[in-house]
Amino acid sequence: MRYRIPSSKQMRRMCAEPGEEDGLDPRFGMRRGGRGGRTRHSGGPAFGPGSPAPPVDRKAAQLCRQVAVTLDEVLAECRDDVLRDLHVVDVAPFPDASRLLVTVSAVDAGAPGSPDPEAVLEHLRHAGGHLRREVAAAVTRRHAPLLVYCLQDAAIGNDQPRMNSDEHG
């Protein structure tokens, strides 16, 4: 079946305001970018510092959910008391699905006797290889994503600038 481009007269009848992408087949609205990624047409909206966030890739969101569930289970079963008290708050691509930002929060943050944030990040760095291996076993990917950890302060509710990356790439 041959695709027929509607005339401008037909398009004006079907919509209130004809736009730049009206009349284009949505299957061909995206073209392949470098390294297997998808990029918009040159005439599409640009994403920059003042624009809204770029749309999240469905596969990247699925990977983030799988990693969050896996890490939550692995941390709960850890022998390390510091890691056992951590809960995964969020996992997001950082900047893409090859590296993930894992935001964790201590269950008893701010309680007397709880470890300081630097010690928590040190424990995460020390267990980074084990955590990444468990993630690699749980998700179906050719390469396991690098994990970058960020500690959220539960008492205040904001992310601390203290971050630690998995150097076991």
Extended strands (E) in 62-145: 86-93, 99-106
Q: What is the pLDDT of residue 24?
A: 65
% helix, strand, coil for the chain, step of 5? 35, 20, 45
Top pLDDT among 147 and 53 is at 147
The domains of the chain, with CATH numbers, are 58-165 (3.30.300.20)
Q: What is the pLDDT of residue 8?
A: 73
Cβ-based neighbour number of residue 111 at 10 Å: 11
Top pLDDT among 53 and 142 is at 142
pLDDT tens per residue, range 82-123: 999 999 999 999 888 999 999 999 887 767 777 888 999 999
Question: Which of 48, 51, 29 has its CA nearest to residue 39?
Answer: 29
Q: What is the pLDDT of residue 150?
A: 93
CB 23, CB 11: distance < 8 Å: yes
**What whole-number distance in Å separates Cα of residue 158 and Cα of residue 152?**
6
Strand, helix or coil at 31? strand
Question: Which of 143, 162, 141, 142 has its CA nearest to residue 151?
Answer: 162
Top pLDDT among 44 and 11 is at 11
pLDDT tens per residue, range 61-80: 999 999 999 999 999 999 99
CB 166, CB 148: distance < 8 Å: yes
Q: pLDDT confidence of 43, banded at 50, 70, 90?
A: very low
Non-local CB neighbours of 12 within 8 Å, separated by 6+ positions: 18
Q: What is the pLDDT of residue 4?
A: 74
Chain-wide mean pLDDT for the chain? 77
- Whole-number percent of the chain with pLDDT over 90: 41
